[in-house]
Amino acid sequence: MLDIIKKTRTFRRFNQDKKISEATLKELIELARLGGSARNCQPWQYLLITDLNTCNEIFPYLGWAGYLTDWKGPAEGERPSAYILCLMNRDWLKGSEKEAWFDLGLATQNLLLGAMERGIGGCRIMSFSPKIADRFNFPDKLGLSLVIALGYPVETVVLEDIGPDGDIRYYRDDQQIHHVPKRPLSEIIFKS
Ligand SMILES: Cc1cc2nc3c(=O)[nH]c(=O)nc-3n(C[C@H](O)[C@H](O)[C@H](O)COP(=O)(O)O)c2cc1C
C-alpha cells in the first residue's frame, strides 16, 4: 500500500504517442464509483475523452503547475493522451456541495491509484477555463468541477521532506526531476 501511494504522484509530462483506451478509462471509473460518499448520494458523473482532436481542444484551457512559473505546461509530444472531466450532478446532491467535493477527493484518489497500478500517471487540474464546459453543452444540472489529465509518464517525480524554511512549493532540478516536499510525520502528528 505504501509503495503504490508513494508512486501515485502528480505527473505532468507524458508519452503522448501512447494512447489510453476508453475501456481502460472505464476500469478507472469503476474504482472511482466504489468510493465512500456522504449520505451515499454519489453526485459525480464523468466524461471520458480519448480522441486526439478533443484532447487538443481541451489542452489550451488547462493551468499547469502554478509554482513552475517559467514552464507553460507539457510540450507537444509530452501532452496527456486522455482526460476525464468530473461533473457534479446537482440533481443528485442531498447534502452540501462540500460533501460532494469530499467524495470527489476519495473517488479520484481511487482512480489515480488504479491508474498508477496500470503504469498510467495523472494530474488533477482545478485550474481550468470554464470555456471547456461551453465546448460540451452540458445540461444545467451538470457542473464541470475538475479535469483529470492522464498519460504514460516520462518524468521522474520524487518525494522529500519539507526543509527547515517550510517551503511547500514543488520544483524541478537541473535534471528536470520534479521534487514534491511533504510535511514530515513528526510535524503532522499533533501532540497536546
Ligand atoms: C484538488 C486538486 C487540484 C489541483 N489542481 C492542479 C492544477 O490546476 N494544475 C496542476 O498542475 N496541478 C494541480 N494539482 C496537483 C497538485 O499540484 C499536486 O497534487 C501537488 O503538487 C502535490 O503533488 P503530488 O500529487 O505528487 O503529491 C491539483 C491537486 C489537487 C488535489
Verify that 49 and 133 share a domain, yes or no: yes
Q: How many CA atoms lie within 13 A of 4 on its CB side?
A: 13
Sheet of strand 171-172, all strands in order from the earlier edge strand to the far edge: 157-161, 178-182, 171-172
Strands, E assignment, 133-186: 142-151, 157-161, 171-172, 178-182
Which of 44, 104, 124, 162 to mutate to test ligand 1, by most ligand atoms within 8 A of the CB atom?
Answer: 124
The pairing of strands 157-161 and 178-182 is parallel
What is the CATH number for 165?
Answer: 2.20.180.10
Identify the residue whose C-alpha is closest to ligand 1 atom 18.
10
Q: Is 54 helix (H, G, I), strand (E, B) or coil?
A: helix
Verify that 178 and 134 share a domain, yes or no: no
Residue 48 to residue 30: CA distance in whole angstroms: 13
SS3 content of the chain, % helix, strand, coil (to 5): 35, 25, 40
Residue 44 to residue 143: CA distance in whole angstroms: 10
pLDDT of residue 75: 98
Verify that 146 and 62 share a domain, yes or no: yes
Q: Work out the angle between the directed axes of helices 97-117 and 22-33 (0-180°, nearest 10).
A: 130
Verify that 110 and 182 share a domain, yes or no: no
- Chain position carrying cell 467524495: 103
Verify that 37 and 77 share a domain, yes or no: yes
Which of 44, 101, 123 to mutate to test ligand 1, by most ligand atoms within 8 A of the CB atom?
Answer: 123
**pLDDT tens-digit map of 15-57:** 999 999 999 999 999 999 999 999 999 999 999 999 999 999 9
Span from the CA of 192 to the centroid of ligand 1 (angstroms): 31
pLDDT of residue 141: 98
Verify that 64 and 140 share a domain, yes or no: yes
What is the CATH number for 76?
Answer: 3.40.109.10
The pLDDT of residue 95 is above 90: no
Verify that 143 and 113 share a domain, yes or no: yes
Verify that 26 and 59 share a domain, yes or no: yes
List all residues whose CB is within 6 A of at least one atom of ligand 1: 9-10, 12, 63-65, 123-127, 157, 170, 180
Verify that 144 and 172 share a domain, yes or no: no
Kindly indicate the confidence band of residue 85, based on its pLDDT and cuts at 50, 70 and 90. Answer: very high
Distances, alpha carbon 73 to alpha carbons 62, 84, 183, in Å: 9, 18, 26
**pLDDT tens-digit map of 112-136:** 999 999 999 999 999 999 999 999 9
Verify that 110 and 187 share a domain, yes or no: no
Verify that 92 and 171 share a domain, yes or no: no
Tally of domains in the chain = 2
Domain residues for the domain of 184 are 156-192
Verify that 150 and 188 share a domain, yes or no: no
How many Cβ atoms are within 10 Å of 165's Cβ, its own excluded?
A: 7
Identity of residue 104: L
**pLDDT tens-digit map of 149-179:** 999 999 999 999 999 999 999 999 999 999 9
Identify the residue whose C-alpha is closest to ligand 1 atom 29.
124
**pLDDT tens-digit map of 136-145:** 999 999 999 9
